[in-house]
Amino acid sequence: MPLREILLLGNPQLRVKSTEVKRFNDEYEANLKDLKDTLLDLQKTRKIGRAIAAPQIGWMRNVLFFNSPDRSFVMVNPKILSKSKETIEVWDSCFCFNIAFFIKIERFKEIKVKYLDIKGITKIETFNDDLSELIQHEIDHLNGILATDHLKNSKQIVMRQEWERRFK
């Protein structure tokens, strides 16, 4: 169970656009296992987080892993096909911020995403509300974009302790 270190805000590698997965080979399988193990460990130790993108552990491929008590899935080479006109405001944080602070940003309420599943089978799925926000956050990572890039008002930043006290 190799756990990988999370790249932190300021690391230039987080700003690099990752590349598509073309082969589901041993290297892919090993890195995917590390990605899953890392998220599961972060969820256990930090008691927060539902997903992680491959670039967050320095694996520069278009892969993300989602895990919740209700559902777990891998998205390979995800592409947003459509976005709703309606948006939502959310408090967002990131393992790359060491979950030290949260920022209030705007995301699309609904998105439709085309991706490959863990075995390379094409899927098209619609995500709503908080899951839509989360998938947008993770796909941003694949494109070298961080949640802080969406911040429009510097007064919409709170430390984690304050967020937990006021908004959780």
Q: How far apart are CA 166 and CA 58, in angstroms?
A: 33
Pairing of strands 72-83, 87-92: unpaired
Q: How far apart are CA 101 and CA 69, in angstroms?
A: 24
Nearest alpha-carbon partner for 84 in 101, 120, 108, 103: 108
110 is catalytic: no
Exactly one of 27, 86, 106, 138 is catalytic; which is it?
138
- Region class of 47: left (phi > 0), else alpha (psi between -120 and 50), else beta: left
Structural tokens at position 96: 């790359």
* DSSP-derived 3-state class of residue 111: strand
Catalytic residue positions, numbered: 138
